[in-house]
């Protein structure tokens, strides 16, 4: 005769008819496992918490019962391991109002993205690879040795578009690689969410929207979940997803160039304003855009009261808005200009043709047209002077 004793204290919230429920439950278990002894249950409760002490006294425990117990433990262990792996690999939800980057930056290739005290950027001085530094420009570190653009940040992750026509050796395989990727902050490994050719990428809440291109369908707006498992066509239309206000995407329709709005879940966009606009940029409840009917001059439209305001009388090639200032590339007598959003205090930052104007809370970055050199100037204040931005990762 062998006796197996097991004492297992459990703590549960006090329920009505607790003694009946526990007795029934364990008697059923005993019958299923062919135990020869009734399960004994003792319990007491203290300060509203029920403590249950279960004592199993089993006489002549059969080998089949031991086998059942072992099998149950193995199956339970597998289920627990799978559940734990899924939990650890899940991407936590972002707040619903999360936007991965500013619309002005994304309209300028999204080469810079500020998030949680850091600036993530494509280092043009190092083959456009992904770097990180503090918001005040200290401690640059390379975090991904691949060329990036359309950088977005949300939660613990950085999202970007990677396209290397030169054929980077990626994961041990040489050849052209392009797609939407995700990397966790503080880590070096990154995950491909969609292997594709794409344009502008924007993180909106918990969804990535991007300009997906293939030879059959051309450019279409696609969406993807944060883990890349749920992705596909959002709208069969060319939609630049850079400009987002309250979760809605504002964009210029390709043929008429009228301002349209796409609400996620709709099958198509709808006309919002009968103006010929180019590259709309959101700032609070205001939209800034180049008015194609007025020689690409910069305008502001208030979504709250419908007021339309001309910011400058100069033709503009590209621009960015950050808080109370606007940086724009002047077409005639080419120069990079900084001006307040009310059109006052215009200042020449640099003479010449520039592109890739990306703004952060401290610095604004820009490049000479079609050159891999980056300059930086203060976004606010200062005397307008610029310096070459060529960060080096001292640890690499």
pLDDT in tens, 70-115: 656 666 666 655 444 454 456 889 999 999 999 999 999 999 999 9
Q: Residue 352 carries which DSSP code?
A: S
Q: How many C-alpha atoms does 209 have within 13 Å on its Cβ side?
A: 31
Distance CA 363, CA 280 (A): 22
pTM above 0.85, yes or no: no
DSSP 249-262: EEEE-TTT-EEEEE
Asked whether the CA dihedral 348, 349, 353, 356 is positive or negative, the reply is: negative
Encode 306-346 in three state secondary structure: CCEEEEEEEEEEEEEEECCEEEEEECCCCEEEEEECCCCCC
pLDDT tens digits, residue range 335-391? 999 999 999 999 999 999 999 999 999 999 999 999 999 999 999 998 889 999 999
**Which letter does DSSP use for residue 126 in this model?**
G
CATH of 103-388, one of 3.40.50.450, 3.40.50.300, 2.60.120.380, 2.130.10.120: 2.130.10.120
Contact 326, 341 (CB under 8 A): yes
Domain edges within the chain: 3-89, 103-388
């Amino acid at each position: 005769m062998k006796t197996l004793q097991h004492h297992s204290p459990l703590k549960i919230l006090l329920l009505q008819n607790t003694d009946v429920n526990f007795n029934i439950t364990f008697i059923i278990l005993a019958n299923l496992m062919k135990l020869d002894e009734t399960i004994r249950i003792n319990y007491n409760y203290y300060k509203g918490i029920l403590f249950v002490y279960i004592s199993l006294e089993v006489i002549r425990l059969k080998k089949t019962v031991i086998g059942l117990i072992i099998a149950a433990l193995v199956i339970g262990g597998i289920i627990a391991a799978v559940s734990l792996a899924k939990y650890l690999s899940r991407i936590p939800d972002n707040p619903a109002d999360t936007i991965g980057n500013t619309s002005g930056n994304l309209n300028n290739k999204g080469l810079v993205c500020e998030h949680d005290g850091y600036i993530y950027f494509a280092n043009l001085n190092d083959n456009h690879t992904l770097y990180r530094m503090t918001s005040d420009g200290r401690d640059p570190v390379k975090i991904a040795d691949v060329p990036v653009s359309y950088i977005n940040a949300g939660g613990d992750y950085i999202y970007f578009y990677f396209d290397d026509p030169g054929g980077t050796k990626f994961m041990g395989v040489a050849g052209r690689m392009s797609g939407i990727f995700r990397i966790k902050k503080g880590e070096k490994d990154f995950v491909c969410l969609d292997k594709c050719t794409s344009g502008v990428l924007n993180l909106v809440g918990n969804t990535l929207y991007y300009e997906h291109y293939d030879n059959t369908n051309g450019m279409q707006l696609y969406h993807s979940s944060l883990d890349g498992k749920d992705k596909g066509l959002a709208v069969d239309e060319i939609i630049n997803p850079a400009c987002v206000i309250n979760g809605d995407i504002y964009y210029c329709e390709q043929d008429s160039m009228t301002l349209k709005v796409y609400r996620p879940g709709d099958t198509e966009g709808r006309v919002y304003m009968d103006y010929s606009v180019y590259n709309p940029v959101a700032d609070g409840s205001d939209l800034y855009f180049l008015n194609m009917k007025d020689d690409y001059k910069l305008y502001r439209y208030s979504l709250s009261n419908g007021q339309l305001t001309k910011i400058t009388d100069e033709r503009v090639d590209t621009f960015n808005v950050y808080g109370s200032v606007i940086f724009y590339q002047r077409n005639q007598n080419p120069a990079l200009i900084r001006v307040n959003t009310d059109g006052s205090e215009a200042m020449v930052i640099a003479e010449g043709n520039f592109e890739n104007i990306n703004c952060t809370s401290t610095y604004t970055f820009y490049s000479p047209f079609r050159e891999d050199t980056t300059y930086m100037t203060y976004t606010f204040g200062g005397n307008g002077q610029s310096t070459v931005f060529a960060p080096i990762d001292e640890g690499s």
